[in-house]
Amino acid sequence: MSDQQFGDALESLAKLNQIAPSHAKVLKMMHQVYAQAEDWEGLSRLIPKLHANKVMMEAEIKLLETQAYTEILKGKAELKNADALRDAWLEIPEHIRTMPSVQQVYFAAMIDAGAGVEVEPRLRELLSRDWSETSLVLYGCIPMPEPAKHLETAEKWLAKRNRDGVLLRLLGKLALRARQLDKAGQYIQNSLDIEPSVEAFRLMGDVLLQQDQAVKACVFFRNGLLYASNEAIAQVEEIQGVESLDASLARSPLAEMNV
């Protein structure tokens, strides 16, 4: 294992596991090999043994399951094959499939594979019980066959969330798809007033272009680029500030005291 020879290590550990199937040290080392080799399917098959033999705590097992099955879904997502994703999803234990973060990975992969319409009802149901920006953004990525109805469905969320900048941006995007340009412009402007974003600036530019207002559209595209560059600068300055603080702490008397 120390030489990164994971195949050889796993072969030896498999033989040991046959001799002593419940040996905690062997099982823990097998877990380490699978994790370091990023063999998530092998690790998923090992998890029931780790659980049955109490090699790890319940919380650690759940965290490990979540990681393993999330990585398996991400691997399948690269194939952009909806059938392979469905098969992988059915292999995931029910208590993991109900986790919003795992569902979001599956929904994103299915949308990318061209099966967004299939998961739309489940994504909508997830939003109804566990509202999140990630799920909302995913919902806006689904190309529904009837854009106007898609917009009507999403507009129902406004009753409780009329000051949600991300929701307003989503509604603007859906209204643009439905060719309801005036409504799209209103939603997007409201979103910009509450929570400016690069996408909102771009969407407003797209709306104005379709309204034959090219000069105004260019202003919004330019503002979007400026906003993106300012965000990038702010992130760099924040990172530099943290690094400077770390360096100062390292030189401080507190560091010498091992506080």
For the segment 240-259, the average pLDDT, to the nearest whole number, is 46
Q: Is residue 204 part of a domain?
A: yes
For the segment 129-143, the average pLDDT, to the nearest whole number, is 95
For residue 185, what are the domain limits? 157-259
Q: Is residue 62 part of a domain?
A: no
Written as six digits, the tokens of 247 are: 């360096």
Q: Are residues 52 and 79 in the same domain?
A: no
**40 Cβ contact list (under 8 Å, min separation 6):** 34, 67, 68, 69, 71, 72, 75
Q: Is residue 148 part of a domain?
A: no
Q: What are phi and psi of 60, to 5 degrees?
A: -70, -40
Q: Are residues 199 and 239 in the same domain?
A: yes
Is 188 in contact with 168 (CB distance < 8 Å)? yes
Model confidence at 7, in pLDDT bands (50, 70, 90)?
A: confident
**For residues 150 and 146, what is the distance between their CA atoms, to the nearest angstrom?**
6
Angular region, 195: left φ>0, alpha ψ -120 to 50, beta rest:
beta
Written as six digits, the tokens of 210 are: 């379709």
Q: Is residue 61 part of a domain?
A: no
**Span of 74-88, 168-182, 234-248 with lowest mean pLDDT:** 234-248
Question: What is the per-residue pLDDT for 10?
Answer: 87
Single residue among 143, 169, 200 that ends a domain in this structure: 143
Q: Are residues 252 and 172 in the same domain?
A: yes
Which residue reads 């999403």 in tokens?
154
Helix (H) or strand (E) run with residue 30 in it: helix 24-36
Q: Smallest Cα–Cα separation from 92: which of 134, 31, 56, 47?
A: 47
Q: Are residues 96 and 171 in the same domain?
A: no
Longest dimension (CA), the chain: 76
> In angstroms, what CA-CA distances link 6 with 15, 20, 40, 158?
14, 20, 14, 53
Question: What is the per-residue pLDDT for 178?
Answer: 97
Q: Is residue 110 part of a domain?
A: yes
Tell me the one-letter amino acid at 252: S
CATH of the domain at 219: 1.25.40.10
Query: Would you report the helix, strand and coil content of the chain in percent, each value rounded to 5?
Result: 80, 0, 20
Q: Is residue 3 part of a domain?
A: yes
Helix (H) or strand (E) run with residue 17 in it: helix 6-19
For the segment 130-146, the average pLDDT, to the nearest whole number, is 95
Q: What are phi and psi of 66, to 5 degrees?
A: -60, -45
Measured CA angle at 61 (ends 55, 64), to 5 deg: 120
Q: Centre a 10 Å sphere on the Cβ of residue 65 and count the other Cβ atoms it contains.
A: 22
Q: Are residues 164 and 257 in the same domain?
A: yes
- How many distinct structural domains can be found in the chain? 3
Average pLDDT, the chain: 89
